[in-house]
Amino acid sequence: MSLLLWAKGPGFALAAVLFLLGTAMRLAEILRLGRGTDLARPRGAAGGQALRTVFSRFLPAPGLFARSPVVHAGGYVFHIGLLVVVIGYGPHLAVLGIGGRGLPAGLIDGVTLLTMAAMTALLAARLRDPVKRLISGPGDYGAWGLVFLPLATGFLLVNRVLLPFEPLLALHLLSVEVMLALLPFTKLVHAFTFVLARGYAGAIAGRKGAHS
């Protein structure tokens, strides 16, 4: 079986299984710990604030954009860009079973380049800033690579650069599959757990009538 066929078939299935089971395991690992009942009389609404906090933390904290412009600008461009490329590109929509024509190829190309540029800036900031360097480990650089490779191979594939179509498609699929398979076991799992983290923070503060 060729690499491409493997990537399209068993490779994809394996990655999907690891992704789904791994994510379920990580979420179970968190939720099974539970929370003690809070016996203090509430002063505010936990539920409403939990929900609000899930969304309000998409906005930068006052004054922090200026203190950390690369993390903020790079973070927004990277996250939004990734989303646009994943769900805005026609062939991706077909694979996801959604259908539709997707966004123009030129636009997707531009967004991909912008997203990779943002990621490069974020990596440079991680390497240069003393705080980020201190708190970063192999997992942080590894996670960066896991996301960057699908973008890079996707760009090469669409523009038919370096290699012929088939090997490039195989590489692109494999890089996506590796990312999917490892996502639950790296910090990329925040793609799911951030909802829990923000929700808990909002609920804890909300019950007190405090800020979150």
Partner 1 sequence: MTMSFANGLAALRPRIDAPVAAFLSSCVRCGLCAEACLFHTETGDPKYAPIMKLEPLRRLWSQEFTVMGRLGRALGLSKPMSDEDFARWEELVYDSCTLCGRCSLACPVGNDLTLMIRKLREGMVAAGHSPEGLRKAAHRALTDISPVGVGAQSARKLIAAQSREVGIPIEIDKHGADWLVLISSMEYIAFPEMLGALARLFKAAGQTWTIASDAYEATNVGVQIGSCDVARAIVARTVDAAHRLGVKGVVTPECGHAYQALRWEGPNLMGQAFDFEVIHLIDLLDRWRAEGRLKTKGKSGLRLTYHDPCQTSRRGGLDPQARRLLNLVAEDFVETSDPGPWNWCCGGGGGVSANPRARDLRFKVFAAKKRQLEAVRPDAVVTTCSNCRNVLEESLEHWGMELPVLSLTELVAEYLDEVPS
Binding site residues, partner 1, CB under 8 A = 25-26, 29-36, 38-41, 43-44, 53-54, 57, 60-64, 67-68, 71, 75, 126, 129-137, 140, 185, 187, 189-190, 193-194, 196-202, 204-205, 208-212
Q: Which of residues 7 and 203 has its CB atom nearest to partner 1 in the complex?
A: 203
Residues making up the chain, counted from first to last: 212
Q: Helix (H, G, I), strand (E, B), or coil: what is residue 38? A: coil
**Minimum distance between the CB of residue 62 and partner 1, rounded to whole angstroms?**
5
Q: Which of residues 172 and 207 has its CB atom nearest to partner 1 in the complex?
A: 207
**Minimum distance between the CB of residue 193 and partner 1, rounded to whole angstroms?**
4
DSSP state of 60: P
What radius of gyration do the chain's Cα atoms show? 20
**Minimum distance between the CB of residue 40 and partner 1, rounded to whole angstroms?**
5
**Minimum distance between the CB of residue 83 and partner 1, rounded to whole angstroms?**
16
Single-letter amino acid code for the residue at 200: Y
- Which has the closest alpha carbon to 122: 194, 65, 69? 69
Residue 202 burial class via C-beta count within 10 angstroms: exposed 0-12, middle 13-18, buried 19 and up = buried
